[in-house]
């Protein structure tokens, strides 16, 4: 049984690896080599990565792929996508090409409010608290001036502060609910710094407020933190085309395709088991762009799924209909993204990804990212209602299996040829590879 370790963070990288190898990897040299194999020779670059997080022992690579031909609001983009799953980039590229030939994607930012809360307990008269909060608002805003000055120069800042009474849900529980505009930054640090200052002022002012009783003066801040639920920081992505231009399959009419597609979306709208997988497909596109551009995919995931269940049931993020012979497919989602601050100026590949996207504003990145999600969902549904998902997936999977089994280039070529006419399964690939090798 391994003992707990003290002072692990104080060990240098080599010592951390040695400790790991000794205690968890049977002093396995090969395992140590794997970790070291991913160190970057460029010491400065490696140091940069080491310092992104704590206790770094190696780098963890994800492939960065490109999905070209995305026509969005009349302008072509190539999307950088960081993702480990095969087929996703290919599917995005295919959907981009398909919709590029049909007028492209339209995307519109609907609103850009970010939210933060100071959660506190107040034991006393709610109407007195109401008056108190109204009175101290100028003081709250004044106290954060050093933090908001720069943001205000860029046109952002605090939009409004309100008091929310939640005592019907939790005894004595109130919030300062604050709306922010953080312009091109995701704004987490900015928001949290403002909130912590608000909390300080709130408590201090309550303490010296002569209209309050002793209990009321003892207002207790529990925590101050931004919310990753941003239902008023949303973007709409959409495509449309005449129904008869929809199918590329001679065995399926455009109408038939549209009806089947709409039915597939309806199922995700009313069926949570399907909705989760359906939305996972949307997130394949979104997360890949969010990651490549150095944004916080956990925040985006948490916010998007909360939004998908905002009416009480978990449901599809995307919707589709036919109107006057036109097929329409669209999605509205919350996306709090930044193109300045955070990793955006630190990680060389993130900087490059933003260059590839022609240095978008946060709003433009919201539009591009939403389109990636819509395209991905279109591609997935198109496969599901026509050939089935496995055909495309397994083709890509074939390469993974061949690589895992160290197939040579010649073996790969022969195997790809063989499996154009045979069904790909893990065991059939291994069997055929063994046959070829013997
Ligand atoms: C796989 O990563 C994503 C899909 O399952 C999405 C879907 O079912 O719509 C193909």
CA of 380 to the centre of ligand 1 (A): 6
* H/E element, 70: strand 64-72
- 404, with CB counted inside 10 A (0-12, 13-18, 19+), is exposed
Length of the chain as a residue count? 438
Q: What atom in ligand 1 is closest to the CA of residue 281?
A: 6
Q: Is 124 in the pocket of ligand 1 (CB under 6 A)?
A: no
- Rounded CA separation 14/19 (Å): 9
The answer to whether 424 and 395 are in contact (CB under 8 A) is yes
Residue whose pair of structure tokens reads 């490059």 in the numeric block: 352
- Rounded CA separation 221/119 (Å): 6
Would residue 280 show up in a list of annotated catalytic residues for this protein? yes
Would residue 422 show up in a list of annotated catalytic residues for this protein? no
- Rounded CA separation 354/339 (Å): 8
CA of 277 to the centre of ligand 1 (A): 6
- Rounded CA separation 255/322 (Å): 9
Domain 69-108+234-386, classified CATH 3.90.770.10, yes or no: yes
Q: Is 55 in the pocket of ligand 1 (CB under 6 A)?
A: no
CATH number of 114-227: 3.30.70.420
Active-site annotation holder among 238, 296, 364, 367: 296
pLDDT in tens, the chain (438 residues): 678 999 999 999 999 999 999 999 999 999 999 999 999 999 999 999 999 999 999 999 999 999 999 999 999 999 999 999 989 999 999 999 999 999 999 999 999 999 999 999 999 999 999 999 999 999 999 999 999 999 999 999 999 999 999 999 999 999 999 999 999 999 999 999 999 999 999 999 999 999 999 999 999 999 999 999 999 999 999 999 999 999 988 889 999 999 999 999 999 999 999 999 999 999 999 999 999 999 999 999 999 999 999 999 999 999 999 999 999 999 999 999 999 998 898 999 999 999 999 999 999 999 999 999 999 999 999 999 998 877 777 777 888 899 999 999 999 999 989 988 888 888 999 999 999 998
Would residue 313 show up in a list of annotated catalytic residues for this protein? no
Dihedrals φ, ψ of 144, to 5°? -100, 5
* H/E element, 437: helix 426-437
Q: Where are the domains of the chain?
A: 8-50, 69-108+234-386, 114-227, 393-437
Nearest to 385, CA basis, from 272, 267, 282: 267
- Rounded CA separation 270/313 (Å): 8
The answer to whether 147 and 178 are in contact (CB under 8 A) is no
Q: Is 278 in the pocket of ligand 1 (CB under 6 A)?
A: yes
Would residue 85 show up in a list of annotated catalytic residues for this protein? yes
Atom 3 in ligand 1: residue holding the nearest Cα: 281
Q: Is 277 in the pocket of ligand 1 (CB under 6 A)?
A: yes
Q: Which of 86, 274, 278 to mutate to test the pocket of ligand 1 (most atoms within 8 A of CB)?
A: 278
Q: Is 389 in the pocket of ligand 1 (CB under 6 A)?
A: yes
Residue whose pair of structure tokens reads 């006057």 in the numeric block: 324
**From the centroid of its chain, how far is CA 273?**
21
């Amino acid at each position: 049984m391994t003992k707990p370790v003290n002072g692990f963070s104080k060990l240098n990288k080599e010592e951390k690896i040695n400790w790991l190898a000794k205690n968890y990897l049977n002093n396995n040299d090969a395992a140590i080599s794997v970790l070291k194999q991913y160190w970057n020779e460029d010491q400065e670059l490696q140091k940069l990565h080491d310092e992104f997080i704590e206790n770094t022992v190696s780098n963890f690579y994800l492939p960065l792929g490109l999905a070209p031909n995305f026509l969005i609001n009349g302008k072509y983009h190539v999307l950088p996508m960081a993702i480990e799953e095969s087929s996703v980039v290919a599917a995005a590229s295919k959907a981009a090409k398909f919709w590029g030939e049909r007028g492209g994607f339209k995307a519109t930012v609907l609103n850009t409010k970010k939210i933060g809360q100071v959660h506190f307990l107040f034991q006393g008269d709610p109407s007195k608290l109401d008056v108190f909060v109204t009175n101290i608002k100028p003081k709250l805003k004044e106290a954060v001036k050093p933090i908001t000055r720069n943001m205000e120069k860029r046109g952002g800042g605090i939009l409004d502060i309100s008091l929310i009474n939640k005592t019907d849900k939790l005894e004595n529980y109130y919030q300062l609910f604050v709306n922010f505009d953080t312009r091109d930054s995701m704004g987490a640090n900015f928001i949290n710094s403002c909130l912590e200052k608000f909390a300080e002022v709130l408590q201090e002012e309550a303490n010296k407020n002569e209209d309050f009783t002793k209990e009321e003066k003892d207002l207790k801040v529990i925590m101050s933190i931004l919310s990753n639920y941003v239902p008023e920081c949303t973007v709409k992505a959409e495509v449309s085309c005449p129904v008869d231009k929809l199918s590329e399959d001679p065995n399926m009419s455009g109408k038939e395709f549209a009806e089947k597609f709409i039915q597939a979306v309806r199922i995700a709208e009313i069926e949570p088991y399907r909705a989760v997988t359906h939305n996972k497909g949307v997130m394949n596109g979104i997360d890949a762009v969010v990651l490549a551009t150095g944004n916080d995919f956990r925040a985006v995931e948490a916010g998007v799924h909360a939004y998908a269940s905002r009416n009480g049931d978990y449901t599809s993020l995307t919707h589709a209909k036919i109107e006057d012979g036109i097929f329409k497919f669209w999605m509205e989602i919350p996306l709090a993204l930044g193109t300045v601050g955070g990793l955006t100026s630190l990680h060389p590949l993130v900087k490059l990804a933003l260059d590839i996207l022609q240095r978008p504003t946060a709003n433009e990145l919201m539009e591009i990212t939403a389109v990636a999600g819509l395209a991905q969902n279109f591609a997935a549904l198109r496969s599901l209602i026509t050939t089935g998902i496995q055909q495309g997936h397994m083709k890509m999977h074939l390469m993974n299996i061949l690589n895992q089994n160290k197939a040579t280039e010649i073996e790969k070529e022969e195997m790809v040829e063989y499996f154009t006419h045979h069904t790909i399964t893990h065991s059939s690939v291994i069997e055929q590879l063994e046959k070829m090798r013997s």
